[in-house]
């Protein structure tokens, strides 16, 4: 019986060899798994973090232990100047950027009646304005090199809405519109722009949900369980490797929204 390694091409090289990727919010949860998966397929990964330097270093270590290459870079991507410095750091260090995964995100759940302007703005800034900050800082590079993969981690909540999540839902729906419009503008330039809409994935973000609400949610998932970060990472890899898929929203949600 022969074992076929799917991340290795016939000539022995890895599918993403030579590619440089940035994963925003790569220190924990889904982002950490995306970083590891891209690295295991040959990409050099810049792991962006904001508040969790040790967690980001652990991801680098995990990648190095598997023979991959990654570095960390601190930047609060809700701030345009910091997003620009993350792009500048990557260019200076590795010469180019091929893959941008806009993954950083937060929740500040409250019913709309109780939602403060601060709750609203924080979520729009981190989840949606960050996408503008990062993408606008890298797009000219990608246009010049006639190659780019932009993958936005949106959410089922941007499609179906979520109780107590007007801010988060607005940001995630905004990412979907952004994805489709930019995909149209860049389709002939070697750049694909896609979104992934995860359902409920087992990370600290979901662990913060009250137990009773979480159990009720799981009961509604057709597949009958929460998703795993690795299942989102595999979808990112699929889109990173594809040339003919653009402007799409890939649902990875156990059938919860169809």
Q: Which residues bind ligand NAP (CB under 6 A)?
A: 24-25, 27-31, 48-52, 76-78, 103-106, 126-127, 153, 155, 198, 200-201, 203-206
- Select 101 or 142, whichever has its Cβ closest to ligand NAP: 101
Contacts of 164 (CB under 8 A, 6+ apart): 109, 110, 111
- Select 68 or 199, whichever has its Cβ closest to ligand NAP: 199
CB of 61 to ligand NAP, least distance (A): 16
Provide the strand spans (E) within 154-216: 191-198
- Select 147 or 153, whichever has its Cβ closest to ligand NAP: 153
CB of 68 to ligand NAP, least distance (A): 18
Q: Report the C-alpha gap between 147 and 129 in whole angstroms.
A: 23
- Select 147 or 167, whichever has its Cβ closest to ligand NAP: 167
CB of 255 to ligand NAP, least distance (A): 15
Residue 168 is among the residues annotated as catalytic for this protein: yes
- Please give the structure tokens belonging to residue 253: 């949600």
Residue 248: CB atoms within 10 A of its CB come to: 17
Edge-to-edge strands, sheet with 20-23: 69-74, 44-49, 20-23, 99-102, 148-153, 191-198, 249-252
Q: Report the C-alpha gap between 148 and 161 in whole angstroms.
A: 30
Among 49, 147, 168, 244, the active-site one is: 168
Contacts of 244 (CB under 8 A, 6+ apart): none
Contacts of 64 (CB under 8 A, 6+ apart): 70
CB of 188 to ligand NAP, least distance (A): 29
Just list the catalytic residues.
168
């Amino acid at each position: 019986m022969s074992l076929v390694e799917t991340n290795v091409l016939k000539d022995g090289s890895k599918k993403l060899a030579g590619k440089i990727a940035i994963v925003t919010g790569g220190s924990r949860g889904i982002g950490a798994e995306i970083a590891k998966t891209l690295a295991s397929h040959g990409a050099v990964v810049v792991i962006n973090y904001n508040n969790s330097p040790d967690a980001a270093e652990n991801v680098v270590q995990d990648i190095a232990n598997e023979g991959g290459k990654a570095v960390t870079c601190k930047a609060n991507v809700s701030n345009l100047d910091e997003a620009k410095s993350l792009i500048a750091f990557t260019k200076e260090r590795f010469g180019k950027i091929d893959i941008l995964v806009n993954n950083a995100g937060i929740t500040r759940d409250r019913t709309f009646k109780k939602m403060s302007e601060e709750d609203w703005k924080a979520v729009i800034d981190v989840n949606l304005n960050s996408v503008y900050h990062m993408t606008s800082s890298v797009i000219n590079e990608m246009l010049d090199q006639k190659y780019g993969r932009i993958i936005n981690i949106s959410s089922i909540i941007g499609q179906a809405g979520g109780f107590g999540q007007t801010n988060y839902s607005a940001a995630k729906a905004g990412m979907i519109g952004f994805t489709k419009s930019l995909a149209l503008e860049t389709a002939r330039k070697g750049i694909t722009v896609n979104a992934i809409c995860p359902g409920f994935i087992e990370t600290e973000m979901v662990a913060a949900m009250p137990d009773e609400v979480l159990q009720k949610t799981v009961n509604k998932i057709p597949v009958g369980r929460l998703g795993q970060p690795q299942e989102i990472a595999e979808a990112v890899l699929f889109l990173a490797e594809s040339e003919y898929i653009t402007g799409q929203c890939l649902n990875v949600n156990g059938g919860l929204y169809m």
